[in-house]
Amino acid sequence: MKNNTLLSTFSIADLDLKNRMVMAPMTRNRAGQGDVPTDLMVKYYEQRSGAGIIITEASQISPQAKGYPATPGIYSKDQVDGWRKITETVHRKAGKIFIQLWHVGRISHPDFHDGDLPVAPSAIKPAGQAFTFEGLKDFVTPRALEEFEIKNIVEDYRLATKNAKEAGFDGVEIHAANGYLIDQFLVDKTNKRIDKYGGSIENRARFLFEVLDAVTEILPGERVGVRLSPSGLFNDMGDSNPAELFSFVIEKLNHYNLAYLHLIEPLMPIDEYPQLIKNVLEYYGKFYKGVRMINGGFTKESGNKAIHDGLAELVSFGVPYLANPDLEKRFELDADLNEANQDTFYGGNEVGYTDYPLLK
């Protein structure tokens, strides 16, 4: 009866999902001292464990990877112990949970690095401002990474994946979207390198695939997801030929037998950018042979339609899950949704975090 809907079950290899609804990764800036997950975070994720998969907020793979206050890490023992409480709690509720692995690259500020510059493929300053402990500050020109440093960052991803495994996660999602480090390598607006990591599409994609090779030495491909935003402009991004770039990347991802490919529809108006594809899923989805997860402004109706039309197997919801811990139940009952309060998205306490009401 529930075949091919958001509420029908789904399996990714031996991972059995209660439904096809995924909680999209969302930074909430509520980690504790040492960027360790807190008990409040345990409660937040527990409340949302009815999702088929929870993808955690982006989590830095090293101190260098950080660019916002109070985001959790996955490189220290205390962080691993903190995350373990979350994975155990979600598993007790028969939920599944992946951690999103993150390096922000140039989207950072010297305030997070004892005065050192943020790093990036090339020394190109993003337009805009960083969120620091002291409020908004202009971005600075980052330092271009040396080749040996790129290798070290790949090792950081490998270690973070080991840590994720130790913390009990069902899998990891590689954050290659939204203008952070991997995306900065992919896109020609931010990558002007002349070594093997820059120039051709193959070279610009090299870093992503080196990361993926390292991560899949620790976990099987079917426990690894990749997130891409082929029509994203967030964080001052852009490519001269995104259709060619991202179709190359997606075709190559077919060789990794991944858990899923997570695509984001454009989240901002893109009419001024004729090179950007308006319907990401319809255009890019066809290059991918495995499980497709789609995100960006989806509702119960449009999510069911994407699944029904055979365009996607999974749909992720960001703001709807943020404001509705029991979103899948509300969809099932056609109940009204809580409204999200944007003032409490980033930072703070339980208000606007764990106090969204459940259905009576």
Ligand X SMILES: Cc1cc2nc3c(=O)[nH]c(=O)nc-3n(C[C@H](O)[C@H](O)[C@H](O)COP(=O)(O)O)c2cc1C
Residue 180: what residue type?
Y
For residue 136, give every residue at least 6 positions away whose Cβ sits within 8 Å of its Cβ, in sequence order, or none. 129, 130
CA separation (Å) from 47 to 18, 36, 85, 170, 327?
A: 15, 19, 14, 18, 10
Q: How many residues does the chain have?
A: 360
Q: Is 356 a catalytic residue?
A: no
Task: Tell the burial category of 55 from Cβ atoms under 10 Å away from its Cβ (0-12, 13-18, 19+).
Answer: buried
In 3D, which of 111, 23, 36, 41 has the Cα closest to residue 72? 36
Q: Taking every pair of C-alpha atoms in the chain, what is the biggest distance, in angstroms? A: 60
Distance CA 184, CA 107 (A): 10
Classify each residue of 2-29 as buried b or exposed e, where b means 16 or more C-beta atoms within 10 Å of its C-beta. Answer: eeebbbbebebeebebbbbbbbbbbbbe
Q: Which is nearer to ligand X, 105 or 320 (CB)?
A: 320
Binding residues with ligand X: total (CB under 6 A): 22
**From the CB of 194, what's the least distance to ligand X, in Å?**
30
In whole angstroms, the minimum distance from the beta carbon of 26 to ligand X comes to 4
Judged by CB under 6 A, does residue 24 bind ligand X?
Answer: yes
Amino acid at 343: D
Q: Under the criterion CB under 6 A, does residue 175 sit at the interface with ligand X?
A: yes
Is residue 318 at the binding interface for ligand X, with CB under 6 A as the rule?
yes
In this complex, which beta carbon is closest to ligand X, that of residue 243 or of residue 319? 319
Position among 34, 128, 297, 310 found at the interface with ligand X (CB under 6 A): 297
Residues numbered 222 to 251 that lie near ligand X (CB under 6 A) are 227
Binding marks (x or -) toward ligand X, 114..133, rule CB under 6 A?
Answer: --------------------
Residue from 5, 19, 87, 178 in contact with ligand X (CB under 6 A): 178
> Which of 45, 75, 180, 256 is the catalytic position?
180
Binding ligand X (rule: CB under 6 A), the pick from 40, 123, 154, 319 is: 319
Q: Which of 8, 15, 26, 159 binds ligand X (CB under 6 A)?
A: 26
Dig out the tokens for 104 from the structure. 């922000």
CA nearest to 175, candidates 207, 136, 140, 199:
207
CB of 47 to ligand X, least distance (A): 16
Span of 21-29, 116-124, 136-144, 286-294 interacting with ligand X by CB under 6 A: 21-29
Between 128 and 149, name the residue whose CB sits nearer to ligand X. 128
Among positions 31-90, residues that touch ligand X (CB under 6 A) are 57-58
Structural tokens at position 44: 């937040």
Pattern 198-217, binding to ligand X, x per CB under 6 A? --------------------
Candidate segments 186-194, 291-299, 302-310, 330-338, binder of ligand X by CB under 6 A: 291-299
3-state secondary structure of 130: strand
Cβ neighbors of 341 (< 8 A, separation 6 or more) are 323, 352
Cβ distance to ligand X smaller for residue 60 or 193: 60
Active site residues: 180
Residues that bind ligand X (CB under 6 A): 24-27, 57-58, 100, 175, 177-178, 227, 264, 267, 295-298, 317-320, 345
